[in-house]
Amino acid sequence: MAGPLGDCEARLARARALVEDRRLDTVRAWKAGHPGGLAIGHMPVYVPRPMLEAQGCLAVALFGGGDQVDIIRGDSYFQSYICHIPRSTIELALTGDLEPLDGVLFPSICDVIRNLGGMWKLLFPDRYSDYLDLPQDFDPEVGGAFYVRELGRIAGELERRGARPLEPGALREAIARENRRRAALEAMDALRAREPWRVRASEAYLIARAGAALPAQEHATLLEEFLAAAALREVRYRDNVRVVLVGAFCEQPPFELVLTLERAGCDIIHDDLQLGLRAIDGEIRVPEGADPLEALARAYLEQGTAMASRYIGEGEKGVALVRRVCDAAADGVVFAAASFCDPALLDQPMLERALEGAGIPFTSFKFAENTGQFQVIREQAGAFSDAVKLWGKES
């Protein structure tokens, strides 16, 4: 019988298999078990997955090919100064790895992902793809009304392709399942921040990202089981520096990069790696008698976390990051932006200024999803970690 350590390992092994499932075998299996069900892929960062689930669809978050795919055809579609995720996504599509998907949504996070949506229409005119215009006006009567109409439009498109009509009861239930997932994620984040040696950032990353192609309920179960096992396992205390990892992550860093930061003496107590899962802060509330679609939209408007692709109309840029660092009692911030990522790199000077104002040390580097050399990053992160330990905020 497996003990807590074995339970953790088993959950992590499952998570890792899900994360590395670039041929979408899990999705194929789901479709076999749900005849007629649509699998709808979506690019980062945020898509309201409960709406898809309420229509009987499987939402599949796409994060490119990481460091597992040799890019051959994908590179021929993009200039050298475009980030990496669209290349590997095109590669996966052209090699047939995304075949199980019945459609793909492209949310409005940057010009590259937006134009990738247009490329999809040109390359795969017979497959469903759609652009999700997330509002940058956060007034429920203006941006909210537009967003509800936008969601309704997409729901209609899915219905035309065989999905169930969007019914309030089903949506309410899907939101409840999503809230369970969110609660489990928050519990994992809290445990990580409290005892980072008990749940390593690399483990939390795998467990969180494993939900990319899982229904919310199944992912919540995985999270809960992992947490229960992690709470019981024997662990070794580590005297590392506590850092927040910031990258406005659409393109994901190689897993080895997260491990490298840990090996360099950094406990990543908070990150925005799986930004979409944390794009709404807290529970999605659906008051009695309220329209759940409006509630889902309202949660995005009013509980949306500060992220690079979201306009900060009120307040100062970087305040949320400073608050995050302070609340989590972090020692510093590590910026890791994907090369040529406009949202992350244009945001960074503003965030750095806020950190400087608060006396919070930081370091920064860039990566690509298929970066294979980590020694320089390890040395930089190690030097940062040592400096923070030796001189604290003075560094």
Partner 1 sequence: MTTPLATAAVKDASQQRQKRMIAEHFERLAAARDEGRKVVYTFVPGNLTELLGALGLLPVLPEINALQSGMRNRSAAYIAEAERAGHSEDVCTYVKCDIGMLKSGNIGPTGTRLPDPDLLLLSYTGCFTFMKWFELLRQEYRCPVAMLHVPYQSDGVITESMRSYVVEQLRRRVVPALERLAGRPLDMDELAARLARSRRAEEDLVAVWESARHRPSPIDGYFGGVYYVGPIFSSFRGTGDAEAYYRELRSEVESRMARGEGPTTPDGPATGERYRLVVEGPPNWTSFNEFWRMFIREGATVVASTYTRVGGLYDTGFRHDPARPLESLADYCLGCYTNLGLPTRTDLIERYIRDYQADGFVINSVKSCNSFSAGQLLVLRELERRTGVPGAFIESDLVDPRYFGKANIENRLQSYFQMLEARRRGGPS
Choose the binding region for partner 1 from 182-190, 239-247, 278-286, 309-317 (rule: CB under 8 A).
309-317
Lay out the sheet containing 58-61: strands in order across: 58-61, 39-42, 103-107, 128-132
Nearest CB to partner 1, comparing residues 80 and 373:
80
Q: Least distance in Å: CB of 324 to partner 1?
A: 18
Instruction: Dump strand ranges (E) for 285-387.
Output: 332-338, 362-367
In whole angstroms, the minimum distance from the beta carbon of 62 to partner 1 comes to 17
| Edge-to-edge strand ranges of the sheet holding 266-271 | 266-271, 241-246, 332-338, 362-367
Task: Work out how close the CB of 364 gets to partner 1 at its nearest, in angstroms, rounded to a whole number.
Answer: 9
Binding mask 214-233 for partner 1 (x = CB under 8 A): --------------------
Element (H, E) at 246: strand 241-246
Nearer to partner 1, 186 or 342 (CB): 342
Structure-block tokens of residue 118: 């247009």
Site string for partner 1, 176-215 (x = CB under 8 A): ----------------------------------------
Smallest distance, Å, CB 181 to partner 1? 29
Q: Report if residue 143 touches partner 1, rule: CB under 8 A.
A: yes
Task: Tell me the closest approach of the beta carbon of residue 112 to partner 1, in angstroms.
Answer: 4
Tokens of 45: 């960062």
Q: Specify the pairing of strand 128-132 against strand 103-107.
A: parallel
What DSSP assignment string belongs to 100-145? T-SEEEEESS-HHHHHHHHHHHHH-TTSEEEEE---S---IIIIIH
- Nearest CB to partner 1, comparing residues 65 and 86: 86
Stretch that binds partner 1, among 178-186, 229-237, 298-306, 312-320 (CB under 8 A): 312-320
> Cβ of residue 301: shortest distance to partner 1, in angstroms?
12
Chain Cα centroid distance, residue 35: 28
- Positions in 56-85 near partner 1 (CB under 8 A): 76-79, 81-82
Q: Which is nearer to partner 1, 12 or 105 (CB)?
A: 105
Judge whether 158 and 40 are in contact, CB under 8 Å: yes
Please list every residue from 82 through 141 that binds partner 1, using CB under 8 A. 82, 86, 106, 108-112, 114-119, 121-123, 130-131, 133, 135-137, 139, 141
Binding window for partner 1 (CB under 8 A); candidates: 55-63, 187-195, 307-315, 321-329: 307-315
- Residue from 53, 67, 102, 150 that binds partner 1 (CB under 8 A)? 150
| Peptide bond before residue 47 is cis, with ω within 30 degrees of 0 | no
- Tokens (6 digits) for 322: 């400073």
**Which residues, at least 6 apart from 370, have a Cβ–Cβ distance to it below 8 Å?**
65, 66, 67, 69, 71, 84, 88, 254
DSSP string covering 223-256:
HHHHHHHHHHS------PEEEEEE---SSPPPHH
What angle (nearest 5°) sits at the alpha carbon of residue 44, between those of residues 306 and 169? 85
Please name the amino acid found at residue 323. R
Helix 168-194 crosses helix 216-232 at what angle (to 10 degrees)? 20
Question: x/- site string to partner 1, residues 271 to 290, per CB under 8 A?
Answer: --------------------
Closer to partner 1 by CB, 23 or 121: give it: 121
Q: Which of 274, 378, 278, 341 is nearest to 19 (CA)?
A: 274
Q: How far is the CB of 73 from partner 1 (least distance, A)?
A: 11
Least distance between partner 1 and beta carbon 338 (Å): 9
Interface with partner 1 in residues 328-367 (CB under 8 A): 337, 339-343, 345-350, 352-353, 366
Q: Which residues contact 308 (CB under 8 A, 6 or more apart)?
A: 248, 343, 344, 346, 347
Does 153 contact partner 1 by CB under 8 A?
yes
In the complex, minimum distance from the CB of residue 187 to partner 1, in angstroms, rounded to a whole number: 33
Q: Are 265 and 386 contacting, i.e. CB atoms less than 8 angstroms apart?
A: yes
Size of the site for partner 1 (CB under 8 A): 59
Report the interface residues with partner 1, using CB under 8 A. 76-79, 81-82, 86, 106, 108-112, 114-119, 121-123, 130-131, 133, 135-137, 139, 141-143, 145-146, 149-150, 153, 308-309, 311-313, 316-317, 337, 339-343, 345-350, 352-353, 366
